Structure 1
């Protein structure tokens, strides 16, 4: 995802001198192509994310189209006041880009986990929030952001995520993507780089006799409410999967919609617990430890389905 983001941004910046990239002294090994092609459109603000965001807003209000970039939670939580008061309030054309969403930088510890970012960013009025699931979705989201601008937040994986989609696509802001469909019992919604693990979990559910249709939500704000409402009417159960705290992310956004629908399908939220992790390790290790690998996702769904059946039987 990271490499695709930089490729898309560099190509756009060559054609549009108003596009500017500002980093917080990170990205070496990834930003070089952009710098070599567009040296006058790149600024290293240093390890000073608040300054980076204020600088980005000033440049945007002067006519630039600015992308800020840093690791995980640093371009969001460290400079939240500047995002809220400067970028969003002034509707500045700034896209805040975080690389390593979720537990991607797990080996560096809790300070580098981005596990509350989606909740916080989608609560800011006027800020679009995107978390693509693979490089193809990253290209589609970037196409929309480059066409229509910020304020926006783009959450990326780190690198090496497998492509789920076989070909490039266009994507409107707020549009979700059906990946598997065909009359499953469950609708499984995924956001961000955990998409591949979600599809593998759906395969395990099928082996257990539970058919699951899968839909990717690369946009959390605006959210594809039509797709959620349709799923509430057509499926027995809706499942959300995200590498984010169970508080405030995709599961919460879907729950907000379902709460206003009479007789909608029950919801199973698969996410990180609402507490900080003291574990250190690579992303795969931390996903397994926190129940976000394919086997744990499918087991969680099967367990909750059994609970729901018992509750339904008692109600009868």
Structure 2
């Protein structure tokens, strides 16, 4: 376990239990990735922890060259993804990490929505010997699933509800909770979660998308290059219905406040999301007429 001067209290139990397996590399994140690459070449399985604004964004070049180019089994954990570090401003928020890493070869990208998906993603990462990024928020929004996901394969979406409804709401990370709230408000919508964004579960999505009148994606990430982009790329040429991307618009956080305030300022409060989707659905109906 390597950290860049983060999470002292968080790692105290681990440091006491495994003192020889904990390394605080200080505020030198680029160097920390190089150390992790060296450890991986020596036969270890390094796990690199940092805020998502720093891991992967600050160390993108080192992830690309030191780890992915060598295809080394290094796991990167980006905590506080999205805008959950609301009071600390844009420097500590990460709304572009998925987009940045999707373009880097070799690396897998995971974005669990609750503790059960987190466990399943971690198990899958450790069963494979390739670079991986585990994206975590810190909003503590509660469970989506009722229990452990013992039969999940990373190549599949996870249906939260699958009744054959007209609309399909596709979420990742904290976006799954937002999708559930929107589905409850709008109705006639199934909700699915995407814990693994790369490799993207294209076959699973194409199957679930069949016959839907509208598809909406939900993510605490820029609308560019994240889940919405991956869904659009996958369904291009197959799906001709209404498509809506719910996420961070093309803007920085210019205000500080608590997490709900920041989500509201980016148009991601449940009421604003509901209005966005209803406008798109109404526009589609008018167009068809």
Unmatched 5+ stretches in structure 2: none
Distance 1:166 1:199 in 2: 14
Name the SS of the counterpart of 2:165 in structure 1. Answer: coil
C-alpha contact (below 8 Å) 1:95/1:149 kept by paired residues:
no
Asked if 1:272 corresponds to 2:209, the answer is no
Q: Per-residue displacement from partner, 1:161-198 (whole Å, max 9, x unpaired)?
A: 30111101133223210001112110000001232222
Retained in 2: the 8 A contact 1:233–1:264? no
Q: Does 1:281 align with 2:257?
A: yes
Please show how residues 67-216 of structure 1 align to structure 2 within 5 Å.
67-158=47-138, 160-170=140-150, 171-206=152-187, 211-216=188-193
Distance 1:52 1:89 in 2: 17
Structure 1, residues 133-156: CA drift from partner, whole Å, max 9, x if none?
A: 011110110111111133011101
Q: Name the residue aligned to 2:224.
A: 247
Give CA deviations for 1:232-278 in whole Å, capped at 9, x if unaligned: 322111110101001000000011011132x5433111111112121
Between the aligned partners of 2:235 and 2:55, the Cα distance in structure 1 is: 32
| Kept after mapping to 1: 8 A contact 2:242/2:281 | no
| Contact kept? 2:178, 2:218, Cα under 8 Å | no
**Alpha-carbon separation, structure 1, partners of 2:247 and 2:44:** 37
Confirm or deny: 8 A CA contact 2:30 2:59 kept in the other structure. yes
* Residue 233 of structure 1 pairs with residue 210 of structure 2: yes
- In structure 2, distance between residues paired with 1:265 and 1:146: 39
1:59 maps onto 2:39 in alignment = yes
CA contact (8 A) 1:198 1:294 kept: no
Residues 232, 264 of structure 1: 8 Å contact kept: no
8 Å CA contact 1:72, 1:105 repeated in 2: no
- Asked if 1 retains the 8 angstrom alpha-carbon contact of 2:113 and 2:173, the reply is yes
Contact 1:202/1:212 (CA < 8 Å) preserved in 2?
yes
CA RMSD of aligned residues (A): 1.3
Q: 1:149 to 1:193 in 2, by over 3 A?
A: farther
Residue 45 (structure 1) aligned to one of 25, 30, 39: 25
Is the 8 Å Cα contact of residues 73 and 131 (structure 2) preserved in structure 1?
yes
Shift of 1:159: 5.1
Q: What stretches of structure 1 of length at least 5 have no aligned partner?
A: 1-20
- What secondary structure sits across from 2:174 in the alignment? helix
Alpha-carbon contact 2:253-2:262 (below 8 Å) kept: no
Aligned residues: 288
Q: Deviations over 1:101-150 (max 9, x none)?
A: 10111110001111000001111111100110011110110111111133
Q: Is residue 220 from structure 1 mapped to residue 200 from structure 2 by the alignment? A: no
Cα distance in 1 for partners of 2:154, 2:96 equals 22
